[in-house]
């Protein structure tokens, strides 16, 4: 993210490259009849980068952009270097982008990070441009990888991994008579990674920890706020800043690990009796992709590099989103004892006497569902949703030129006091009698996006979040270490791959429900 320390470095680099930038600088040649959205005054060359870098929330762009939009409106123009960017901060404007003119904005801006996540043109579901190839990849994800039947086939995987989490918390408490705090954040991340690994590969493969670490590092470059992304016409910047070399190093490391995983699965498929056009419920997602690779029904061939890219999309998005949401859900529940008491009462009354809880057991826990929705309202894992205009268009009467970068501030939408009562308060009850859901049709609430580019993994991740939270509240009572006041829990944010807690969440768990010895 933009920080004052490297902002000074940016200025030095820009001054050094000033003649080159003037020569190569690409700008939108907007005619006098263009009615662009309002926005703050910009500096030559750097545009509005200084306003993000010098903001009190400089490391949290969703907050900085929300503060600016209060002054300049829900459709606001900014220049990040040479990149014209329009920030969307109201449901009406979001609907224009995600629904009314959905096809115009069906493209994602291609950052250096996203480009590096693609091993073969035109990329995976996240990075590929909108078109026939993208539609094929979307269909593969929705119909083959994340269909209701396929998601159901992995139910036992999710249940086993959640039970392993519960057992590990129980054993850590059992081995210590004193109230020793556990690192809840670390445990949740480990559980979600293990779940995604089993679903995608069938097991935790050799080199997986290094792969996940490298993937997180790669994803930090995908936000579009790097210096090279702000000046795409000056190719030299990607080399001068070291971004190009870093991305190449990370990509090569990931590629080597994935090659080994794919080769192992190819050998396994060779020795099975299942035909290449047939998939089994026992297949992991990589097996499914490799069998599809042999299919004659695909319009575009599915190369091994395409498969590696899809794997990165799933692991990168799936694990991070679920872990972040669960971390914030537990933080909010702990900080609000009234909600904790109410959620625990619902779970324990409905599931009394059970030991190992199944997904089917939690489907009717309505208040728990509201707790997760309220968490996603206040803490969308991806607070800024990126799009790019494929042609000239209008949003609420303002002209949007071709190739304009669009940033939908999902975080600001979820905290708009004009839409939500007590917008900054954690009140799950607001969803009890509300028709607002996660399907992308309510534009004041888009934690997973909407339209064609909406996250396809909701049917997998949401039930998993419900199951984890239900078991945590059912089996344990919770408190802060050293008798800390729950209402004073630190809720500071950190924006990297997603918007997570700045500091890990440490909690004391006391078992209260039966366990299998």
Q: How far apart are CA 398 and CA 33, in angstroms?
A: 11
334's CB contacts (< 8 A; 6+ apart) are: 340, 478, 480, 486, 489, 505, 507
Q: How many CA atoms lie within 13 A of 339 on its CB side?
A: 25
Residue 43 has a CB neighbour count (10 Å cut-off) of: 12
Radius of gyration of the chain (CA): 24
Phi, psi of 415 (to 5 degrees): -120, 20
**Mind spelling out the 3-state secondary structure of 97-112?**
HHHHCCCCCCECCCCH
Q: How far apart are CA 72 and CA 99, in angstroms?
A: 23
Structure tokens at 68: 């600016």
Of 424, 174, 463, 322, the residue nearest 330 (C-alpha) = 322
Of 197, 196, 250, the residue nearest 221 (C-alpha) = 250
Q: Is the peptide bond before 275 cis (omega within 30 degrees of 0)?
A: no
Q: How far apart are CA 252 and CA 238, in angstroms?
A: 17
455 annotated to a ligand binding site: yes
Quote the longest CA-to-CA distance of the chain.
Answer: 76
Would you say the C-alpha torsion 282, 286, 291, 292 has a positive or negative sign? Answer: positive
Would you say the C-alpha torsion 41, 380, 319, 150 has a positive or negative sign? Answer: negative
Q: How far apart are CA 436 and CA 24, in angstroms?
A: 47
Q: Report yes or no: 116 and 218 within 8 Å, Cβ to Cβ.
A: yes
Give the C-alpha distances (Å, rounded to integers) separating 472 from 108, 273, 510, 513: 37, 41, 11, 10
Q: How far apart are CA 411 and CA 380, in angstroms?
A: 6
Q: Helices 458-475 and 304-335, interaxial angle, to 10°?
A: 40
* 3-state secondary structure at position 42: coil
Exposed, middle or buried, 7 (CB in 10 Å: 0-12/13-18/19+)?
middle
Of 414, 480, 488, the residue nearest 445 (C-alpha) = 414
Would you say the C-alpha torsion 231, 235, 240, 246 has a positive or negative sign? Answer: positive
Residues marked as binding?
Answer: 455
Annotated binding site for heme: 455
């Amino acid at each position: 993210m933009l920080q004052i320390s490297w902002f000074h470095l940016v200025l030095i680099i820009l001054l050094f490259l000033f003649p080159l930038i003037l020569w190569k600088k690409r700008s939108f040649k907007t005619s006098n009849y263009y009615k662009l959205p309002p926005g703050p005054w910009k500096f030559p060359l750097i545009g509005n980068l200084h306003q993000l870098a010098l903001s009190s929330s400089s490391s949290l762009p969703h907050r900085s952009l929300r503060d600016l939009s209060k002054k300049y409106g829900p459709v606001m123009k900014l220049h990040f270097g040479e990149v014209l960017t329009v920030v969307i901060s109201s449901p009406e404007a979001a609907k224009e982008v995600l629904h009314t003119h959905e096809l115009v904005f069906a493209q994602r801006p291609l950052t250096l990070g996203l480009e590096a996540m693609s091993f073969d043109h035109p990329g995976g579901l996240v990075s590929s441009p909108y078109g026939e190839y993208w539609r094929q990849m979307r269909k593969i994800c929705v119909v083959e990888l994340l269909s209701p039947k396929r998601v159901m086939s992995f139910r036992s995987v999710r249940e086993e991994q959640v039970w392993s989490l519960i057992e590990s918390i129980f054993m850590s408490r059992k081995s210590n008579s004193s109230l020793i705090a556990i690192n809840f954040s670390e445990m949740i991340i480990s559980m979600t990674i293990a779940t995604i690994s089993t679903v995608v590969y069938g097991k935790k493969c050799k080199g997986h920890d290094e792969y996940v670490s490298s993937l997180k590092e790669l994803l930090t470059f995908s936000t579009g706020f790097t210096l090279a992304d702000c000046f795409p016409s000056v190719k030299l910047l990607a080399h001068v800043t070291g971004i190009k070399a870093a991305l190449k190093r990370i990509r090569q490391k990931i590629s080597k690990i994935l090659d080994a995983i794919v080769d192992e699965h190819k050998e396994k498929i060779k020795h099975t009796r299942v035909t290449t056009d047939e998939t089994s419920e026992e297949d992991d997602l990589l097996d499914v992709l490799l069998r599809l690779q042999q299919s004659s029904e695909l319009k575009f061939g599915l190369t091994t590099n395409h498969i590696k890219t899809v794997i990165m999309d799933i692991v990168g998005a799936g694990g991070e989103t679920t872990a972040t949401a669960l971390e914030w859900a537990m933080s909010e529940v702990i900080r609000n004892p009234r909600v904790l008491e109410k959620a625990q009462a619902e779970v324990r009354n409905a599931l009394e006497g059970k030991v190992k809880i199944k997904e089917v057991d939690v489907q009717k826990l309505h208040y728990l569902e509201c707790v997760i929705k309220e968490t996603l309202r206040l803490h969308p894992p991806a607070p800024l949703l990126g799009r790019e205009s494929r042609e000239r268009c209008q949003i609420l009467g303002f002209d949007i030129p071709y190739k304009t970068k669009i940033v939908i501030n999902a975080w600001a939408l979820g905290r708009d006091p004009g839409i939500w009562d007590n917008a900054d308060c954690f009140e799950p009850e607001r969803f009890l009698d509300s028709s607002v859901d996660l399907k992308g049709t309510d534009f004041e609430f888009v934690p997973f996006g909407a339209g064609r580019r909406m996250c396809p993994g909701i049917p997998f991740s949401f039930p998993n979040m419900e199951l984890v939270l239900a078991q945590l509240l059912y089996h344990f009572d919770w408190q802060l270490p050293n008798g800390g006041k729950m209402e004073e829990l630190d809720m500071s944010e950190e924006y990297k791959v997603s918007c997570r807690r700045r500091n890990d969440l440490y909690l004391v768990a006391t078992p209260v429900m039966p366990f299998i010895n």
